[in-house]
C-alpha cells in the first residue's frame, strides 16, 4: 500500500500542479509579482503538502478487559522527558481512544493492571500491529507508576520483535541493549518502553555500560535526533549523522485491568475466551476456555468476623485488600462487588474448584 500511495500522490499533485501552474502562467503575463501569481504558488504548496500526508490507521478494537491508557501520534508530545509520563494530568481525554492522535486517558492515572500491550499503526491501509501482551509478576498500580518509575528490565525481548513491530529497515540484528521500561543508555539515548543499539556498521554491544547510538520503542530521545513519541531514532537504522531516517508513528498503550478471574487455565486465555464470546462472562454452562466458565471473584473471607452477618462490608461501598490475589486465602472485597452486573452466583470453599452449583437468577 505504501508503494501504491507513492505512485498516487505524485499523480494527484501533478494534476493540481498543472491547473495551478496554468493559473500562475496567466497571472505571470501580468508580471511575476502580481497577486494572482503569488496566490497560485501558495495554493500549489498547500495542495502538495495535503496530498503528501499519510493518515494513520485507527486501532480496530480494544479486547474485553483492556483499556487504552494513552496514545501518541509519534511527535514530541510523548517524548522521553514529557511530564505526561508521571504527572496526574490528562490530555484530550474525551477523544475516541481508537482514533489516531495524542491522548492521555483517566485510566492512565487510575487503572491498576497486570498486563500491557503496545500497538502501532502504519498508515491508511497498512494495518495495526501489536506486541504480545506482557504479563507482570505483580499488579501495577497504574501507568503513571510504571512509566514514571525506575528502570524495569522486562516487556522487551527478541520474541517481542520491536523492529518488526515498527517495520524498521537497515538496523543491525543485535540483542537489545537495556531492554525494558524507562531505559537510559549512554550518549543521550533513552526510551520509556524499548531499548538501544549501535549504528548498523558497528559491532553488537548489549552490555549495560556499552556504547549506544540509537533507540526504538515508545517515548524516545536519541543521540543525533529529535524527541519521538513512538518509532525509532535515525542512528537505529543509519550510519549517517542526522540523515533523517528516524521514524515517527502512531501508537497506543493498552492495559489489562487487574480483576482476576477464578478459572482453570491462565487469565489471558480466559480474557481471550471472554472477548470471543462478546459478553461480560460466559452464559451458565458454556465453556470459556479449558473447559471452565468465566467467573469473577467479588469477595473472599477466611472465616473470621470480618464478613460476619452484621458487617458493614455487605452493603457499603468500601473495599478491602482490593489489590490482593483473589485466589489466595484471606479477606478481601473487590471493586466488582460494587460495580459488576451478574446473572449467576456461587460459593467456593477451601479452593476455587470446590464450589456449589451456580444459582442463576431470573432475568
> Are residues 9 and 87 located together in one domain of the fold?
no
Count of residues making up the chain: 363
Q: 202 pLDDT band (50/70/90 cuts)?
A: very high
Q: 48 pLDDT band (50/70/90 cuts)?
A: very low
Mean pLDDT of the region 181-204? 95
Domain assignment present for residue 121? The answer is yes
Task: Say if residue 322 is exposed, middle or buried (CB neighbours under 10 Å; 0-12, 13-18, 19+).
Answer: middle
Domain assignment present for residue 118? The answer is yes
Q: Provide the domain limits for residue 13.
A: 2-52
Q: Among 287, 313, 278, 311, which residue's Cα sits nearest to residue 298?
A: 313
Cell of 220: 524516545
Rounded CA separation 167/120 (Å): 10
Domain assignment present for residue 196? The answer is yes
Q: Among 119, 150, 154, which residue's Cα sits nearest to residue 134?
A: 154
> Are residues 35 and 116 located together in one domain of the fold?
no
Q: Among 57, 78, 62, which residue's Cα sits nearest to residue 122?
A: 57
Domain assignment present for residue 300? The answer is no
> Are residues 120 and 191 located together in one domain of the fold?
yes
> Are residues 84 and 227 located together in one domain of the fold?
yes
> Are residues 73 and 46 located together in one domain of the fold?
no
Q: 297 pLDDT band (50/70/90 cuts)?
A: confident
> Are residues 16 and 135 located together in one domain of the fold?
no
For residue 336, give the 3-state DSSP assignment. Answer: helix
Number of domains in the chain: 2
Mean pLDDT of the region 166-183? 93
Residue at a domain's end among 255, 276, 298: 255
pTM tops 0.85: no
Given the C-alpha cell 553488537, which residue does it identify?
204
> Are residues 42 and 70 located together in one domain of the fold?
no
pLDDT of residue 216: 96
Residue at a domain's end among 52, 75, 92: 52
pLDDT of residue 349: 87
> Are residues 250 and 104 located together in one domain of the fold?
yes
Residue at a domain's end among 229, 255, 281: 255
Domain assignment present for residue 271? The answer is no
Cα separation of the two ends of the chain: 50
Output 2 or 234, whichever has higher pLDDT. 234
> Are residues 95 and 172 located together in one domain of the fold?
yes
Domain assignment present for residue 287? The answer is no
> Are residues 100 and 38 located together in one domain of the fold?
no
> Are residues 187 and 42 located together in one domain of the fold?
no
> Are residues 208 and 247 located together in one domain of the fold?
yes
Domain assignment present for residue 266? The answer is no
Domain assignment present for residue 308? The answer is no
Amino acid at each position: 500500500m505504501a508503494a501504491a500511495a507513492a505512485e498516487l500522490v505524485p499523480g494527484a499533485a501533478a494534476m493540481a500542479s498543472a491547473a495551478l501552474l496554468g493559473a500562475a502562467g496567466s497571472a505571470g503575463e501580468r508580471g511575476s509579482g502580481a497577486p494572482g501569481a503569488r496566490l497560485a504558488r501558495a495554493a500549489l504548496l498547500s495542495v502538495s503538502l495535503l496530498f503528501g500526508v499519510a493518515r494513520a490507521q485507527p486501532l480496530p478494537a480494544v479486547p474485553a478487559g483492556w483499556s487504552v491508557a494513552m496514545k501518541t501520534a509519534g511527535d514530541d508530545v510523548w517524548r522521553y522527558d514529557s511530564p505526561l509520563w508521571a504527572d496526574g494530568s490528562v490530555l484530550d481525554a474525551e477523544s475516541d481512544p481508537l482514533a489516531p492522535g495524542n491522548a492521555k486517558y483517566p485510566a492512565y492515572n487510575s487503572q491498576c493492571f497486570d498486563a500491557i500491550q503496545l500497538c502501532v499503526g502504519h498508515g491508511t491501509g497498512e494495518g495495526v500491529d501489536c506486541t504480545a501482551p506482557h504479563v507482570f509478576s505483580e499488579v501495577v498500580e497504574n501507568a503513571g507508576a510504571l512509566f514514571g518509575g525506575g528502570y524495569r528490565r522486562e516487556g522487551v525481548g527478541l520474541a517481542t520483535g520491536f523492529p518488526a513491530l515498527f517495520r524498521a529497515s537497515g538496523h543491525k540484528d543485535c540483542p537489545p541493549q537495556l531492554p525494558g521500561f524507562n531505559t537510559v543508555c549512554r550518549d543521550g539515548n533513552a526510551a520509556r518502553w524499548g531499548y538501544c543499539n549501535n549504528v548498523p556498521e558497528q559491532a553488537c554491544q548489549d552490555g549495560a555500560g556499552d556504547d549506544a547510538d540509537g533507540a526504538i520503542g515508545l517515548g524516545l530521545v536519541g543521540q543525533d535526533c529529535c524527541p519521538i513519541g513512538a518509532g525509532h531514532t535515525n542512528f537505529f537504522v543509519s550510519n549517517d549523522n542526522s540523515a533523517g531516517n528516524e521514524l515517527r508513528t502512531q501508537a497506543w498503550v493498552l492495559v489489562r485491568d487487574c480483576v482476576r478471574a477464578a478459572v482453570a487455565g491462565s487469565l489471558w486465555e480466559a480474557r481471550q475466551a471472554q472477548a470471543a464470546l462478546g459478553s461480560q462472562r460466559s452464559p451458565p454452562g458454556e465453556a470459556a476456555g479449558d473447559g471452565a466458565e468465566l467467573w469473577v471473584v467479588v469477595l473472599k473471607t477466611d472465616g473470621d468476623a470480618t464478613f460476619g452477618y452484621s458487617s458493614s462490608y455487605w452493603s457499603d461501598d468500601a473495599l478491602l485488600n482490593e489489590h490482593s490475589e483473589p485466589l489466595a486465602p484471606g479477606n478481601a472485597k473487590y471493586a466488582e462487588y460494587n460495580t459488576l452486573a451478574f446473572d449467576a452466583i456461587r460459593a467456593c470453599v477451601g479452593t476455587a474448584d470446590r464450589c456449589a452449583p451456580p444459582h442463576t437468577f431470573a432475568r
